[in-house]
Amino acid sequence: MEMTLEKLNEIQNKKRELVMVRKLIAEKGEELSTHTQYRKQILVCGGTGCTSSGSKKVVETLEAELKEKQITDVLIVKTGCFGLCALGPVVIVYPEGAFYSQTTPEGAKRIVDEHIINGKVCKDLLYPETVHEDGEILPLSETRFYKKQMRIALKNCGVIDPENIEEYIALDGYKALYKVLTSMSQDDVISTLLASGLRGRGGAGFPTGKKWAFCKASKGDVKYVCCNADEGDPGAFMDRSILEGDPHAVLEAMAIAGYTIGAHQGFIYVRAEYPIAVERLRIAIRQAREYGLLGKNIFGTGFDFDIEIRLGAGAFVCGEETALMTSIEGKRGEPRPRPPFPAVKGLFEKPTVLNNVETYANVAQIILKGAEWYSSIGTATSKGTKVFALGGKITNVGLVEVPMGTTLREIIEEIGGGIPNGKKFKAAQTGGPSGGCIPACHIDTPIDYENLAQIGSMMGSGGLIVMDEDTCMVDIAKFYLEFTCDESCGKCSPCRIGTRRLLQLLEKITSGKGEMEDLEKIEELSSHMRVSCLCALGQTASNPVVSTLHYFREEYLAHIVDKTCPAKKCKDLLRYTIDPAKCKGCTLCARNCPVKAISGTVKQPHVIDHDKCIKCGLCQTNCKFGAIVKE
């Protein structure tokens, strides 16, 4: 099909009201007067989180129930992530905006029987925060989780069917591309991005407009546009969720980038461990080609642009831009020295623009709404919003998007719902293996690129792992070092040997064999790695160690001097003992000990032989009287 503005508007008008019912009720509690041919719409989260907790079975149950009861005026829509991953599978019924959480197939049957057929909302199945004390159902925007969020990159996630291009078009999809191709010069696009203040969301925050300008200025008969969807940080799932919930936002932005720099081919490098994201990307690319929005002569302007997918094999180092491009070329994913930078000599040695998924997800809205609108959000140097994957010891595990400058406290205590089980907040890890740990004393720090760097961390791609008082910070540093050791490509000696040596020092400390001079060795080695490693993986690998050593030095000293782990997590420093006053002599601990380290007679206090004990913890797990404690 040859796409024109008239056809784009025709599709938009056909689908807009259907989609706007969901959007307006979720955001404002505002209901449209009519709902097209459908009496109700049932939205089911089809993101990875909800899929893993059973949303496919929920969809199958809903479809079977509607078919059996011959209900044809209710639409089931499988969407992307709503954000509240801890409450999956999530089901929302419109026009009421009823937010059902942790939905089971049995719950789905009740939703059809009671809500769809009889018009009675199943209030006991609703997310409690969406129900007012007077029984009124509140829009999602009034819950603590959503109240302080501002969804730009995630604006369509949980709203549209990501496998239906017409639903994306219904919410102004591909209008930014039309505007760019028909009324903006290449320099106009660059000027708009520069004025907006958009910075790369994948790491150090380089200005997107500058990157595109450098590539446009580079000489080359062929140029390329690449998307980095090789999200490898432990606990990070921002880019995956955008691709699963709104893939066309990325395709449209890549086409805009292609026009801006003079490229006609794009590549999306996505890890193969993201099967739902990969499948939805394939569907989106096929549909965009069918609708004339990718391929030849887009919007009749003579501009050609197409996109291909390249699958990554899960190597963390391939998130580094030069290693990613080397992998696309079919070679071993290893970084290359810079300069020359990719904007001058990138993919296939041609000028290349590379941005990550979240960066691209902002572009079309900046083009449509203007640089002034975007630059009004955030801080003086960090504009717009940032998506975080909120995980760890937090009540509301999920996906959040907040304006830059939002404090860590607001994210953890308000949006995240605080630390479970009455525990105290201890630290937050941002930036993944390349970032640092932020202690509780900095909880009121406004989050932006500069502030995070100032306190020894970094924005990174957006993983935010929360830790409570039971976390051992030395063990956390060791965890990240184990990851970077495994993921080092081995090309340069400072990284290949340096990460291994750092890990050995941490293993020595957590096993109770540490010495004070080990701390000096850690600091010296970390300093050398920062300046001598070839790529950012090695240069930043020591950040989790350095930040924990800076803020939690007393824990390192306890491991080295006192040979104890204050958090009682390091196995070699633990000692299990039985309190004779609490022990009832039930023998459960002795019967479950795999090495027969516990002795005693029935109804008499038992004793642990510490020379035999392997510190597996089974005795404590099986004790019903709380008599066994870790020391």
Higher pLDDT, 46 or 203: 46
Nearest-angstrom CA–CA distance, 290 and 79:
22
Cβ distance 216 to 260 under 8 Å?
yes
CATH topology identical between 15-140 and 575-630: no
Lowest mean pLDDT among 128-132, 191-195, 197-201, 468-472: 128-132
Q: How many CA atoms lie within 13 A of 266 on its CB side?
A: 32
Tokens of 78: 């499988």
Element (H, E) at 92: strand 91-94
Which residue type occupies 93? V
Higher pLDDT, 91 or 2: 91
pLDDT of residue 534: 92
Local confidence band at 204 (pLDDT 50, 70, 90 cut-offs): confident
Residue 544 confidence (pLDDT) above 70? yes
Tokens of 281: 């990307």
Element (H, E) at 310: strand 303-312
Residue 596 confidence (pLDDT) above 90? yes
Q: What is the mean pLDDT of residues 232-249?
A: 93
CATH superfamily of 173-375: NADH-ubiquinone oxidoreductase 51kDa subunit (3.40.50.11540)
Q: What is the mean pLDDT of residues 544-566?
A: 95
Q: What is the mean pLDDT of residues 227-252?
A: 94
Residues found in the chain: 631
Q: Quick: pLDDT tens for 282-340.
A: 999 999 999 999 999 999 999 999 999 999 988 899 999 999 999 999 999 999 998 99
- Cβ neighbors of 602 (< 8 A, separation 6 or more) are 585, 586, 587
Residue 166: Cβ within 10 Å count: 18
Q: Quick: pLDDT tens for 78-135.
A: 999 999 998 999 999 998 899 999 999 999 999 999 999 999 999 999 999 888 878 7
Residue 1 confidence (pLDDT) above 90? no
Q: Report the relative pairing of strands 425-430 and 576-578 from DSSP bridges.
A: unpaired
Q: What is the mean pLDDT of residues 524-533?
A: 94
- Cβ neighbors of 254 (< 8 A, separation 6 or more) are 225, 227, 266, 268, 305, 307, 360
Q: What are the start-end ranges of the H helices in 29-84?
A: 48-52, 55-68
Q: Quick: pLDDT tens for 373-411.
A: 999 999 999 999 999 999 999 999 999 999 999 999 999
Q: Quick: pLDDT tens for 3-49.
A: 999 999 999 999 988 998 888 887 777 666 555 678 899 999 999 99
From 1.50.10.10, 3.40.50.150, 3.40.50.2000, 3.10.20.600, which CATH number describes the 385-471 domain? 3.10.20.600
Distance (Å) of CA 247 to CA 239, 242, 282, 462, 520:
10, 7, 9, 19, 48
Q: Quick: pLDDT tens for 465-493.
A: 999 999 999 999 999 999 999 999 999 99
Nearest-angstrom CA–CA distance, 89 and 386:
25
| Cis peptide leading into residue 494 (ω within 30°) | no
pLDDT of residue 31: 66
Report domain extents, the chain. Answer: 15-140, 173-375, 385-471, 474-562, 575-630
Cβ distance 414 to 528 under 8 Å?
no
Fold of 474-562: de novo design (two linked rop proteins) (1.20.1440)
Q: What is the mean pLDDT of residues 593-613?
A: 93
Q: What is the mean pLDDT of residues 55-59?
A: 96
Q: What is the mean pLDDT of residues 338-362?
A: 96
**How far apart, in Å, do the first and last CA atoms of the chain sit?**
71
Distance (Å) of CA 245 to CA 232, 242, 358:
19, 5, 12
Q: Please say whether the dihedral angle defined by the alpha carbons of residues 103, 108, 114 and 115, taken in this order, is positive or negative.
A: positive
DSSP annotation string for 422-483 = GPPEEEEEESGGGSEEEEGGGTT-B-SHHHHHHTT---TT-EEEEEETT--HHHHHHHHHHH
Nearest-angstrom CA–CA distance, 509 and 507:
5
Nearest-angstrom CA–CA distance, 522 and 534:
19
Q: Report the relative pairing of strands 224-229 and 352-356 from DSSP bridges.
A: parallel
Residue 346, SS3?
coil
pLDDT of residue 32: 61
pLDDT of residue 26: 79
Local confidence band at 424 (pLDDT 50, 70, 90 cut-offs): very high
**How would you class 577 by CB atoms within 10 Å of its CB: exposed for 0-12, middle for 13-18, buried for 19 or more?**
middle
Q: What is the mean pLDDT of residues 238-254?
A: 97
- Percent of the chain clearing pLDDT 70 (strictly above): 99
Lowest mean pLDDT among 184-193, 237-246, 385-394, 609-618: 609-618
pLDDT of residue 202: 82
Q: What is the mean pLDDT of residues 195-224?
A: 94
Fold of 15-140: Glutaredoxin (3.40.30)
The CATH code of domain 575-630 reads: 3.30.70.20
pLDDT of residue 566: 94
Q: What angle do CA 616, 620, 623 make, to 5 degrees?
A: 140
Nearest-angstrom CA–CA distance, 624 and 456:
44
- Percent of the chain clearing pLDDT 90 (strictly above): 85
pLDDT of residue 64: 97
Q: Quick: pLDDT tens for 448-466.
A: 999 998 998 888 778 899 9
